[in-house]
Amino acid sequence: MKSFYLCTFYFMDIIHNIGELQRKLHSQKENGLSIGFVPTMGALHQGHISLVEKASRENDIVVVSIFVNPTQFNNPDDLQNYPRTLDADTTLLRKHKCNFVFAPDEKTIYPEPDTRIFSFGRLEEVMEGMHRPGHFTGVARVVSKLFSIVKPHKAYFGEKDFQQLAIIQNMVDQMKFDTSIVPCPIIREEDGLAMSSRNALLTPAQRNVASSIYQAMKKVEKKYNTNTINELKSYFKEAVELSPLLKVEYVEIADELTLEPIDQKLDKQHVRLFVAVHAGDVRLIDNLKINS
């Protein structure tokens, strides 16, 4: 089933079938047009739209996928509760230069169980990898499938999932995909909270205190030159957990090139703060480059 949004030079086609998408993209490539790709799990917000807009500036054709990938969820409840808003997502994308929305079902992406195991070394052993075992193999499974289907020239990922970005670049190198990975800056709400599909699951009270995550991160940045690494991590945890609605899962200060947590000061050129915080059942991640 297809729908079209037409204007003088612009269309949007919603596709659920792999073969149909590939035929249409092949025709575009035969005409010498470049393909930009934005993989998403839906529940789109302005952070996603910033990726779409960058892709549209740098490519002739933009593809956005919307697929809640079951293989990257450790918690079945998290998968079950993940927001699914396809109609609202496609309505939003009609206002931006998205040419193809690829919205497959699970059977389309996984006609058979995907048992591939990826190895990313230390990249998958720290932070998110330590707290969500198997998560990055699940990410690599779906992204590699999507890259094989779409065959984009460029693919766009937000830096909010900074570790995932490093994993995907490593996967591209391992599998020799002819796709350039384009990192895009974190988009934040007015109070600093990083935009995330999971924000929609926060209660009003949780949403009200969630802004303290970014506030505490900025204070850690300011204190970087005058405090030890352990003092900085303790400060973040104490500042966030002043609210009984928030619980810090981890806070790490790491080399952003290797993602190795540090326990002694490094040159600030490549230092980044990484955090994960629970607001009830909602898990929020964020990161911040240390520039002070």
Instruction: List the one residue out of 244, 258, 254, 260 whose CA is nearest residue 275.
Output: 254
Q: What are the φ/ψ torsions at residue 260 (nearest 5 degrees)?
A: -75, 125
Separation between Cα atoms, residue 152 and residue 38, nearest integer Å: 9
153 is a catalytic site residue: no
In terms of DSSP bridges, do strands 100-102 and 246-255 run parallel, antiparallel, or are they unpaired?
unpaired
Separation between Cα atoms, residue 137 and residue 134, nearest integer Å: 5
Paired with 158 in beta bridges are 184
- Determine which one of 26, 45, 48, 153 is catalytic: 48
Please report where in the chains the tokens 């000061």 appear, as a residue: 265
Residue 188 · residue 194 · CB < 8 Å: yes
Paired with 88 in beta bridges are none
| Helices within the chain (DSSP H only) | 18-30, 46-58, 76-81, 86-93, 106-109, 128-131, 135-150, 162-175, 204-223, 229-240
CA separation, residue 10 to residues 35, 179, 185 (Å):
15, 24, 27
Separation between Cα atoms, residue 194 and residue 179, nearest integer Å: 27
Separation between Cα atoms, residue 172 and residue 180, nearest integer Å: 8
Q: Which amino acid is at 145?
A: K
Query: Buried b vs exposed e over 180-196: b needs ≥16 C-beta within 10 Å?
Result: ebbebebbbbeebbbbb
Q: Which residues are catalytic?
A: 48
